[in-house]
Amino acid sequence: MQESKRVQVALIGNPNSGKTSIFNQLTGLQQKVGNFPGVTVDKKSGTLTLPNQSSVELVDFPGAYSLYPTSKDERLVVQTFVNPADPNFPDLVCYVADVTRLEKHLLLFTQVKDLGIPVILILNMTDVATQEGLQIDTGRLSRKFSVPVISVSGRTGEGLTALKQAILDVSEESRRPLADNLFYRLSQEEARLVTETQELLPHLSPYQRILVAHHWETLSGLSDQQREQLGELTSQIGFQDLPLQVRETMLRYDTFTPLVQQSIQQTRERGNSLTEWLDTILTNRLWGPIIFFGLMVLIFQAIFAWASYPMDLIDGGFANLSTWLQQTLPPGWLTDLITDGLLAGLGGILVFIPQIAILFLLISLLEEIGYMARAAFMFDRVMQTFGLNGRSIVALISGGACAIPAIMSTRTISSWKERLITIMVTPFISCSARIPVYTVLIGFVVPNKSLGIFNVQGLAFMGLYVLGILAALVAALAMKWILRTNEFSFLMLELPEYRMPVLRNILLTVWEKVKTFTLEAGRIILIISIVLWVLASFGPGNRMEAARLTALETAKEEQLDPEATSSLVASRQIEASFAGHLGRLIEPAIAPLGFDWKMGIALITSFAAREVFVGTMATIYSIGSDGDELTVRERLAQERNPLTGKPRYDMATALSLLLFYVFAMQCMSTLAVVKRETKSWKWPLIQFIMMTGLAYLASLGVYQWLA
Amino acid sequence: MVALRNSDKKLAHMHIGGQGEVSHFTNERMASKLIAIGVLPGTRIQVIRKAPFGGGCYVKADNLLLALRRDEACCIILR
């Protein structure tokens, strides 16, 4: 058996070093998203073909400032780099630095170099450097740091051939670099620690051992015995985490700052006047937020309105395909499974793609330009009050169109707690799928009258949206207090200079988001929609068949036309199905909310997506499955309570049902995406209980109060 | 750490446009992160503007543009 592991190359660098641009240039569509073991951070990797046609695996690590991490993403870097047994431990590190900020970008480089892993220093943004009149002596840098130094531009692709050659050269060298000559002078404590851990951590370099001594409490890959001994040793030596860390960092700057200054020449005065000029408007106390909300309205409009054209096409296409298959294939349960289960599920997945693609097209455009960091800065304080991040506001607003792309957009929030809270509360914001339900029911609650210039129903509509927003904020506050974290919260955000966006980066982001949604969340959506199909199409024993026969008999007696007959059959059959039985089963639980078992069926089936409520109601009341909101509302208005003879949909019931749909987690696709983003079933489950629980209590309260 | 002198100022108390040189930090945890980003003793720092809705500020540290929360700006002492 051949056991030759592919050479692993890690791409690392500070945030805003343009690392991702280089990654995209090198791997293009060859990249894939996977998992780092044991953490919720996505691993982007890709195959890179070298000049001699051999291939290496390139892994894009999250941006980090140092090996003393302050977020989960940053922690991943140190965690991997001090553990040679880790499957992602690199054979070679490509370190990306923004050459226009070199004196700020080399701290992590010197740390990685000291680990004893071979490093290539990549000076990125050389195109900008030339414009700004910077002259860099790469030969001198290379000699002083004793590593290969390659100048590239992630935007234009300049220098990438040289980079590939350098990767090949370094990976063919069998000699490991010496790791004894560090960039800083060890303190007494550190020197002692290095000597005394030689046997305890046998395969690690001296600096790796120092890092382990700093981080042993959080590192995976240590045995209990090692932990215990490290704990004893560090307290015995008096090895203090923070002071030593600060001392080390300062000494590193002292070493590399003069080297950088000797190697770089500023040939003319440099000014970032464009960025500063734009920011006087874009982050202005008054205009900043106004422009931001203007942009958000545009994004909202795009996912809300523009996406509806391709979405209608997808919907219509699947409906046609389904009809065609029904006519072509022999009738039977297999055909039904294909049309009503499989195709419905597939359509339900694909229909989200326009929204996801449009949202990420616009968001990554703003991110790429450098605007998103400004938005995070402007709203940080407000969002902090609710335990959220400045960037959460984008997710909350786009949640008004659809929670799915909104939740996927939280990836840029680096604090795990803030990201999690954003994910958990975003589905409270009323999304577009709730509109059909609101439209059907609102007429039962408030009359279609005018109040001054306002339409009362319009006001009620707005009220429902406000309720959703309030629920999101209150839930966020509650989670802020409940969730414990040992992460220290920082803003300290670098505001990158405004730059022209690179189309390749934007399109790759869109492609990646669409792909992960379709493949990972899509799988779950498909399974649930097949389960829902089984529930609605099959019944215990031969009840379904019996229901069909009685319905046909009734239709014959009443001399119904074929269309009305098939509507009646569908209605009786769904009553006899498992879903119908489930509806009856949960009736005692939902009766206090004013719901009967028919509404119970709709609650169950609309778990597929909220708007399915309308279709199910149409089927149950045998309007025919193509009944729109208006016909369904008319039919519901005629429905009488068999006991009292009063309208079934009185104000209390309708309001209770409305509130239920405002709060309840009635969307399998959202749950699937939350599972994908949090990498566990725990959070979608908690979210389901929290939202549906709140919905139940709200409906119970309002119905009992009004009825 | 050096005791506060009269000429020492907290960055958070600076007006827009005010500038100075970082002297030291009053919080070690914040300091470790600030230093990693590139704000060290000796760095020239200028307040460019304050955030809407109160709180944070937008500063220029050497050639780096940074957004800081109020408590982060509070721990930076200028001279």
Question: pLDDT digit string (tens) for A433-470?
Answer: 888 889 889 888 888 888 888 888 888 888 999 999 99
Q: Does the pLDDT at position B1 exceed 70?
A: no
Q: Which among A283, A373, A380 is the nearest to B55, CB-wise?
A: A380
| Alpha carbon distance A638, A447 (integer Å) | 16
Domain count within chain B = 1
Q: Which among B36, B50, B62 is the nearest to A68, CB-wise?
A: B36
B32: nearest CA in chain A?
A246
Q: Between A172 and A108, whose confidence is greater?
A: A108
**A317: Cβ–Cβ under 8 A, 6 or more apart, which residues?**
none
Asked if this assembly's ipTM is beyond 0.85, the reply is: yes
pLDDT at position A390: 87
Task: Please give the mean pLDDT across all residues of chain A.
Answer: 90
Residue B63 located in a structural domain: yes
| Alpha carbon distance B39, B30 (integer Å) | 11
Q: Which among A68, A242, A492 is the nearest to B34, CB-wise?
A: A492
CB of B47 less than 8 A from some CB of A: no
pLDDT at position B2: 46
Task: Provide the percentage of residues in chain A whose pLDDT is more than 90.
Answer: 59
Residue B3 located in a structural domain: no
CATH code of the region A8-266: 3.40.50.300
pLDDT in tens, B4-32: 455 578 998 889 999 999 999 999 989 99
User: Hey, is A341 helix, strand or coil?
Assistant: helix
Of the pLDDT bands very low, low, confident and very high (cuts 50, 70, 90), residue A187 is very high
Q: Does the pLDDT at position A396 exceed 60?
A: yes
Q: Does the pLDDT at position A696 exceed 70?
A: yes
Find the angle CA(A649)-CA(A669)-CA(A480) to the nearest 5 degrees.
Answer: 90
pLDDT at position A2: 40
Task: Provide the percentage of residues in chain A whose pLDDT is more than 70.
Answer: 97
pLDDT at position A443: 86
CB of B40 less than 8 A from some CB of A: yes
Domain extent, residue B22, equals 9-78
Find the angle CA(B7)-CA(B13)-CA(B16) to the nearest 5 degrees.
Answer: 105
Q: How are strands ordered across the β-sheet holding B57-61?
A: A493-494, B64-68, B57-61, B44-50, B19-25, B76-78, B9-10
Task: Provide the percentage of residues in chain B whose pLDDT is more than 90.
Answer: 62
Residue B15 located in a structural domain: yes
Residue B36 located in a structural domain: yes
pLDDT at position A625: 54
Residue B23 located in a structural domain: yes
Q: How many residues in chain A?
A: 707
Find the CATH number of the domain harbouring B43: 2.30.30.90
Q: Which helix (H) or strand (E) holds B61?
A: strand B57-61
Residue B1 located in a structural domain: no
Of the pLDDT bands very low, low, confident and very high (cuts 50, 70, 90), residue A180 is low
Mean pLDDT is highest, among A30-39, A172-181, A420-429, for A420-429
Domain boundaries, chain A: 8-266
Residue range A473-478: average pLDDT? 96
pLDDT in tens, A257-270: 999 999 998 877 76
Q: How many residues in chain B?
A: 79
Residue B2 located in a structural domain: no
Residue B4 located in a structural domain: no
CB of B42 less than 8 A from some CB of A: no
Q: Does the pLDDT at position A607 exceed 70?
A: yes
Q: Do B66 and A495 touch (CB under 8 A)?
A: yes
| Alpha carbon distance A16, A98 (integer Å) | 8
